[in-house]
Amino acid sequence: MNPAALTLHDAGEKLRKHELSSQELTLAAFQRISETDDKIHAYITLCRDAALEQAKQADERLKRDGSTLPLLGIPIAVKDNFLTRGLRTTCASKILGDFIPPYDATVIKRIRDAGAVITGKTNLDEFAMGSSAENSALFPTRNPWDGERVPGGSSGGSAAAVASDQCIAALGTDTGGSIRQPSAFCGVVGLKPTYGRVSRYGIIAFASSMDQVGPLTKDVRDCALMLEAIAGHDPADSTSADRSVPRYSEALTGDVKGLRLGVPKEYFVTGIALEVEQAVREAIRLLEKNGAAVEEISLPHTEYAVAVYYIVATAEASSNLARYDGMRFGHRAGGKDLLETYMLSREEGFGAEVKRRIMLGTYALSAGYYDAYYLKAQRVRALIKQDFDAAFQRCDAIITPTAPTTAFKIGEKIEDPLQMYLSDIYTISINLAGVPALSLPCGFDANGLPIGMQVIGKHFDESTILRLAYAYEQATEWHRGKPRMED
């Protein structure tokens, strides 16, 4: 077997037993990148020399002290909106161009300290604004299962890299589904933790009240190990929760007996592909057969989620992106005065989708419209959160599809922003409520494209959704499917 195809936990075991070196594993990942990335374009920036040096140091550490750190020597890809000291960070935008950060994001520091090997920075929708990885200012990423289709977004590069074995695991961010939806489209596991569980310090902000960092992995155990490494309080992030981090891998018992699962009726309505609904309902029946109790529930304010999200998220984006003015860093145009420099820098630097969201957000925050749009959206957001709070009085987790369809074709929705926004209809409520959710494979459609199931949990109860997802994964073979990149 190609070492790059190993899971994180299997690769880690071979490293600790000295059956495989980190340098061999890292070279295998870069060999896979050279064989496949001209087809899928998952990476913006590769750092082969630095990665091999990190791998060499990991091998020395393994020989010296036999470290049991799960990430030691493991090649990991990083979405290109994480600040990485000395390594170009573009956010897939012309306005940042060749920006090289002077420091690491907290999460990057944590994986470096754990001995991970960073292979490079992966492609995304510009400033994480998109659902298809087509909005990158550099190039679109393609789905490894079908090169004519999108990998999902905005963490499309990370999902495609994991699915095609160009890395062992990856990091992404999720503001409205940007880890979970591409995970579903690419047939991998992706987790958005509870808001505040993982530090956002050093992440290029999109919508600060919803952005969250999470892992994309080949299976659920890898996801648990990654979360153990990156979670925890960070004084540098004022939204970081000061709570202890459980040993998530210890929750993977394979047993779902006694768990109460809610199935919201609002998620199985007109617009969902029949094959997606059938696959998710079959997965629910399997969990019930294995001992979980299942009941239908209601999340009555779901229908307002898209409207609320695209007011709150764009308003926060308008505020966060005001710093890109051509003065302190990034692209600067040659205007005749300060105002023209501001205007030209932003005109040349931002892509169409980013401009659209800035304008929407600025409008929603403007005098005379703040109460009618932004304030009202925040009130409805509170109602959406209350829906989840009420549901979790009756159940331990909620099961839904991750996306209403499988991966759509490149170019199919790019000219219709509303249709593109609706592709996240099952994921955005989770970010509005701040609860954790995980996507994992639960089948394939007639075109051989992966289908994702979403498992939603209570605040700071990632252990239960990981336990549930692991039990389902162990009872099925869907996660073992691999795209045939050689065809």
Torsion of CA 466, 470, 471, 477, to 10 degrees: 150
Beta strands 293-297 and 260-264: pairing type? parallel
Report how many helices (DSSP H) and strands (DSSP E) the chain contains, helices first: 15, 11
Beta strands 75-79 and 189-192: pairing type? unpaired
> Which position among 93, 132, 155, 178 bears the catalytic label?
178
> Which position among 132, 136, 154, 183 bears the catalytic label?
154
Which helix (H) or strand (E) segment holds residue 172: the answer is: strand 169-174
Q: What is the C-alpha separation between 61 and 63, in angstroms, rounded? A: 5
Annotated active-site residue 132? The verdict is: no
Burial 16-32 (b: 16+ CB within 10 A, else e): beeebbbbbbbbbbbeb
Report whether 20 contacts 3 (CB < 8 A). yes
> Which position among 21, 79, 155, 463 bears the catalytic label?
79
Annotated active-site residue 63? The verdict is: no
- Residue 388's contacts (CB-CB under 8 Å, 6 or more residues apart) are 299, 398, 429, 433, 435, 456
Q: At what angle do helices 376-391 and 305-320 cross, to 10 degrees?
A: 120
Q: What is the C-alpha separation between 413 and 415, in angstroms, rounded? A: 6
Burial 128-152 (b: 16+ CB within 10 A, else e): bbbbbbbbbbeebbbbbbbeebbbb
Annotated active-site residue 136? The verdict is: no
DSSP 149: B
Query: Taking the alpha carbons of 248, 253, 258, 263 in that order, is the dihedral positive or negative?
Result: positive
Cα 451 to chain centroid distance, Å, stands at 16
Cα 405 to chain centroid distance, Å, stands at 18
Query: Starting from the edge strand earliest in sequence, which strands make up the sheet with 450-457, in order?
Result: 43-46, 117-122, 75-79, 169-174, 212-217, 189-192, 437-444, 450-457, 397-401, 260-264, 293-297
Residue type for position 455: V
Give the CA angle between residues 198, 463, 453 to the nearest 5°.
Answer: 90
- Residues marked as catalytic: 79, 154, 178
